[in-house]
A and B are shown apart, each in its own frame.
Chain A
């Protein structure tokens, strides 16, 4: 149908949340029900649209950018409103739409401290626009804008609704509120990264001039890849992009913002941050860095692999030392994203497929983990694992769900988490031609050992929090188990975990075609 072909549906998916945010903005603060429903309906419409796109998407030819449009936007610098979705970005788009719906349902009647549901809903919808936009953008400047747009709402979410407990900053004997320190750290980290990313985009733009008209258009830049990666400064360009994306993933040395941002963020904030925002970095690698500068990608692949593996081990070890439950889950994200980056660094079909299904699975599972952690924090009013305990006796349903999702998170086969890690190791066993096989195989073994450590800290957390006798502190306390909103938000995620685990084709069916195309173009451009 023509509605789909000329990009209207994708533009709707991207900008409808913005319209929703406006509508919510206009509804006066008193009618809480009215704007809550308005926000939910917008999110639902966007979700339905994305699922319709998933249904009508032509999986046979999933490498082609479908439902796209290419309207001129800023002719003076040759960047135009070029959007489209292919096998790689489709799963992420659907995930982003669905997670936002669940986030709104989850927070239907319990809001964080300075109770202002209207502002929170507006920020959530703005966030969704940024997220959806990034996944459909096929123009560097458009990508950059949505990439940055995401920062603001998250900065305010952490800054205003964050955790207010005082926090002393090591070595500087300075105590500020956690939320202020975390929000400014999150913003400056990403801004620092994306400043260099912008410089690289501009470098690409200027050097794309001599092979045809200067352009910010990603598909055109991919065609120019052989020429671009032969440039003397191509190394620097890749370094800029690497920095921008690595900070976002987060990869090992640039990860210190993540634990603070997650622990300080409100529940829904950390869910969206973990489920989608972390994926913008790795998606950036797959969509922009690898295809446009394949040669540099090959040179950098060993370093990325090493950093990824260190990330896995470092993340798991750090988790073992945590006392705060949410901070433990945050470090687990560092570990899981380590597997995703290991998959990408192998530059094989298996590796990149692993990265995408790993991203989707991590989104669903860690999203759930943060939901549960949030709900438990909401009931116990503490995240300190020393005080928690015997949760399964106090709240059997919550305990079961926590146990189930912890199993999924440690990569139990048959659940979503397993395929990402398994295929990343599979890719690492035999990386793309030209990559040092020995290094990647050692990386594979260390990764496999990493899964043991992951199992270690998760089961340790389970034992401390879920099992055992509840502390006498909670003796008199009566806890209401999972309420209907939480269940409505969580059941889809649990079903998704099992569905993807049992039938990975749900994701691979769409990504495999596009990844095969991507890897073949990379190898072609390398030769």
Chain B
């Protein structure tokens, strides 16, 4: 009498599982020389996974739920699944050259990465506590290990240790909160919780439960004061893994947060609204100001991704604080659009770091001086991504900033206006350190004693750069592309 599973809705997950298995067997079977096939296999697998997602998105016959409501495949879920697959695709492209050059175990690397992608894909449509928790653990488990992939390097060990310990601690706090949620509402699926949440919104236990859950996810998106792990882990971990962490695992954290706040306890916005407001303000400011002083480019990108998380939190917090419904829907749409654009911008930036590091042979920004003179291609990509992060038209970043600002201003209450003000100041500060990198690359003379690195550049890294660059420019000139993400998703804000 087993449960009725809607296999079409599960198609992406099934395809991913198939790829996982294929990669694993290939890794075992193939001799060391042909190990690169695992990469090809995983890329193929991801493209196959993308097909059902696109099909489901285009065939608009509404949301498909199964397992009595705990697993929902609606536009919101599909968009994020698509985003995770795309991000995974690009990260793998970036890591092919990186892994080969380090003589590491390729098979397992791709296996773990695909497992993490599977976790985030499941999270996107999870609508109950257990599935969400398992999805979350599936995302972060492999990442703990991937962070420490460069076994010989002490920094990589330290990165994985820090990430692991804090990850497990935040998971414990999350679980404690979930246990209380279950205790108070008696159910595990979000529909039930949201009904109960309305009457409970002032009981201390419920407040504790909600906030502990929020803390769990806040750790994932590295919001201040739970961000301390991010800079060290980003610097220590191998760069493609850092890219993946700063984009996909952060997006997974946001997905969790969005589902929990919008679907599980929309009426408890008086709790998580102000909390998010504080987190947004703190994250933006601390992220931006500390980024000003960074000398290592990866550490700068780490603090920059914290600051961007802060910017993403702004519309999120506005939705929590403001009252009128369509402002909330717009704000919700804004967050999703910002995440989509941020994904491509940041992946591109990290791809540039990988490509550039090959020539500058170090992470210090002053070592990157004069890159434009001997490597104009990479410098041009760097210019596009860093200025897009800064939010300069006609690159996609400006539309993200615009949508974020309009959501903040549209909020209507004094608090949202104050947040918009803080965001404006932060935008200017942010411009300064992005421009510093661009200035270094383009204007400063080449530091003496500089030896040009290996000239050849891996094909797949260039493909990754081109894909992200195309999206960033296309979305910049014709923002309807990223606007599509926001609009289709706004429906979920309307409730369950």
Residues of A within 8 A of B (CB): 73-77, 141, 144-145, 148-149, 151-152, 156, 159-160, 180, 184, 187-188, 191-192, 195, 198-199, 202-203, 205-206
Contact of B405 with A198 in the complex, beta carbons under 8 Å: yes
A40 to chain B, nearest CB (A): 24
Interface membership of B273, Cβ < 8 A: no
Q: Are A76 and B487 in contact (CB under 8 A)?
A: yes
B405 partner, pick from A148, A159, A160, A202, beta carbons under 8 A: A202
Residues of A within 8 A of B424 (CB): 195, 199
A291 and B439 alpha carbons, distance in the complex (Å): 40
Q: Given A76-B487, A191-B431, do A156 and B442 touch, yes or no (CB 8 Å)?
A: yes
Contact of B427 among A73, A75, A156, A195 (CB under 8 A): A195
CB atoms of A159 and B483 under 8 A apart: no
Given A187-B435, A199-B420, A206 contacting B409 (CB threshold 8 A): yes
Chain A's closest residue to B412 (CB) is: A206
Q: Are B393 and A74 in contact (CB under 8 A)?
A: no
Q: Could you list 9 A-B pairs, sorted by A, with CB under 8 Å?
A: A77-B402, A141-B402, A145-B398, A148-B392, A156-B442, A184-B439, A191-B428, A195-B428, A206-B410
Which residues from chain A contact B428 at a C-beta distance below 8 Å? 188, 191-192, 195
Q: Contact: A198 with B431, CB < 8 Å?
A: no
> A145-B398, A198-B402, A206-B406 given. 5 additional CB < 8 A pairs?
A76-B486, A77-B403, A148-B398, A199-B420, A202-B406
- Is A199 in contact with B431, judged by CB distance below 8 angstroms? no
B side interface size, CB within 8 A: 28
Contacts of B442 in A (CB 8 A): 156, 159-160
B124 to chain A, nearest CB (A): 22
Contact (A74, B439) CB under 8 Å given A145-B393, A149-B394, A191-B428 = no
* Closest chain A CB from B379 CB (angstroms): 12
For the complex formed, measure the closest distance between the CB of B422 and the CB atoms of chain A, giving whole angstroms. 13
Chain B residues, Cβ within 8 Å of A187: 435
Known: A145-B398, A148-B398. A159 touches B406 (CB 8 A): no
Residues of B within 8 A of A199 (CB): 405, 409, 420, 424
B431 cross-chain contacts in A, Cβ below 8 A: 188, 191
For A205, the chain B residues whose CB sits under 8 A away are 406
Contact present for B410 and A145 (CB under 8 Å) = no
- Asked if residues A159 and B439 are in contact (CB atoms below 8 Å), the reply is yes
Contact residue among A75, A152, A160, A202 (Cβ-Cβ distance under 8 Å from B443): A160
Cβ contacts under 8 Å, A152 to chain B: 387, 392
Chain B proximity of A158: nearest CB distance (Å): 10
Closest 10 A-B residue pairs measured CB to CB? A76-B483, A145-B393, A148-B393, A202-B409, A74-B479, A202-B406, A159-B443, A76-B487, A195-B424, A74-B480
- B contact residues around A195 at 8 Å (CB): 424, 427-428
| Residue ID in chain B nearest A152 by CB atoms | B392
The listed residue (B393, B409, B432) touching A144 by CB distance below 8 A is B393
- CA–CA, A180 to B409, complex, Å? 35
Tell me the B417-447 residues at the A interface (CB within 8 Å): 420, 424, 427-428, 431-432, 435, 439, 442-443
- B interface secondary structure, majority: helix
Distance A144 CA – B406 CA, assembled complex (angstroms): 14
CB-nearest residue of chain B to A179 = B443
The smallest beta-carbon distance between B188 and chain A, in angstroms, is 36
Main SS at interface, chain A: helix
A93 to chain B, nearest CB (A): 20
Smallest beta-carbon distance B399→chain A, Å: 8
Q: What distance in Å separates the Cβ of B428 from its nearest Cβ neighbour in chain A?
A: 7
The CA of A187 and the CA of B487, in the complex, are separated in Å by 34
**Which of A74, A141, A159 gathers most chain B CB within 10 Å?**
A74
Chain B nearest CB from A191 CB (Å) reads: 6
A288 to B194, CA, bound (A): 47
Chain B residues whose C-beta falls within 8 Å of the C-beta of A180 in the assembled complex: 439, 443
CA distance A145 to B486 in the complex (A): 21
Contact of A145 with B480 in the complex, beta carbons under 8 Å: no
Q: When chains A and B are docked, how far (Å) is the Cα of A73 from the Cα of B479?
A: 8
Q: Bound state CA distance, A156 and B431, in angstroms?
A: 15
- In the complex, chain B residues whose CB is within 8 Å of the CB of A141: 402
Contact between chains at B398 and A203 (CB < 8 Å): no
- Contact partners of B405 in chain A: CB under 8 A: 198-199, 202
Closest to A195 in B: B424
With known contacts A159-B442, A199-B424, A77–B393 Cβ distance under 8 A: no
Bound Cα distance A203, B405 (Å): 11
Whether A73 and B480, one on each chain, are in contact in the complex, defined by CB atoms closer than 8 angstroms, is yes
Complex Cα distance A141/B442, Å?
A: 29
Instruction: List the A side residues contacting B443 at CB < 8 Å.
Output: 159-160, 180
Chain B window 319-361, contacts with chain A (Cβ cutoff 8 Å), 1 for yes, 0 for no: 0000000000000010000000000000000000000000000
With both chains docked as a complex, state the minimum distance between the C-beta of B449 and any C-beta of chain A, in angstroms.
22
Could you tell me the distance between the alpha carbons of A75 and B483 in the complex, rounded to whole angstroms?
A: 9
Question: Which interface residue of B333, B402, B410 has the most chain A CB atoms within 10 A?
Answer: B402
Q: Give the CA-CA distance A203 to B406 in the complex, in Å.
A: 9
The answer to whether B483 and A74 touch across the interface, beta carbons within 8 angstroms, is: yes
CB distance from B481 to the nearest CB of A (A): 10
CB within 8 A of B406: which of A77, A145, A149, A192? A77
* A191 partner residues in chain B, CB cutoff 8 A: 428, 431
Q: Are B435 and A184 in contact (CB under 8 A)?
A: yes
Residue in B393, B406, B410, B480 whose beta carbon sits within 8 Å of that of A75 in the complex:
B480
Q: When chains A and B are docked, how far (Å) is the Cα of A73 from the Cα of B481?
A: 11
Assembly CA distance A468 to B320 (angstroms)? 74
A residues within 8 A CB of B406? Answer: 77, 202, 205-206
A75 to B394, CA, bound (A): 18
What separation, in Å, do the CA atoms of A195 and B431 have in the docked complex? 12
* Residues of chain B within 8 A of A74, CB atoms compared: 479-480, 483
Complex Cα distance A144/B391, Å? 13
Complex Cα–Cα for A206 and B410 (A): 7
Residue among B387, B393, B439 with max Cβ neighbours from chain A (10 Å): B393
Which A residues lie within 8 Å of B439 (CB)? 159, 180, 184
Please give me the residue from chain A that is nearest to B476 by CB atom.
A145
Kindly provide the distance from the CB of A164 to the nearest chain B CB, expressed in whole angstroms: 11
Give the CA-CA distance A74 to B478 in the complex, in Å.
8
Cα distance, A202 to B334, chains bound together (Å): 15
Min CB distance B333 to A, Å, is 8
CB distance from A129 to the nearest CB of B (A): 10
Contacts of B479 in A (CB 8 A): 74
CB distance from A246 to the nearest CB of B (A): 18
How far is B326's CA from A206's CA once the two chains are assembled, in angstroms?
13
CA gap between A156 and B394 in the complex, in Å: 16
Cβ B394 vs Cβ A145 within 8 A: yes
Minimal beta-carbon separation of A131 from chain B (angstroms): 15
The CA-CA distance from A188 to B333 in the complex, in Å, is 30
Q: CB-CB < 8 A to B392: which residues of A?
A: 148, 151-152
Residues of A within 8 A of B432 (CB): 188
B residues less than 8 Å from A76 (CB atoms):
333, 480, 483, 486-487
User: Shortest beta-carbon distance, A207 to chain B, in Å?
Assistant: 10
**CA–CA, A148 to B487, complex, Å?**
26
Closest to B410 in A: A206
Per-residue CB contact flags for chain B residues 361-394 toward chain A (1 = under 8 Å, else 0) read: 0000000000000000000000000010000111
Which residue on A lies nearest to B486, using beta carbons?
A76
Shortest distance between the CB of A157 and any CB in chain B (Å): 12
- By beta carbon, the residue of chain B nearest A141 is B402
Contacts of B402 in A (CB 8 A): 77, 141, 198
Q: Smallest Cβ distance from A411 to chain B, in angstroms?
A: 37
Q: Please indicate the chain B residues that have their CB under 8 angstroms from the CB of A145 in the complex.
A: 393-394, 398
Give A75's nearest chain B residue, CB to CB: B480
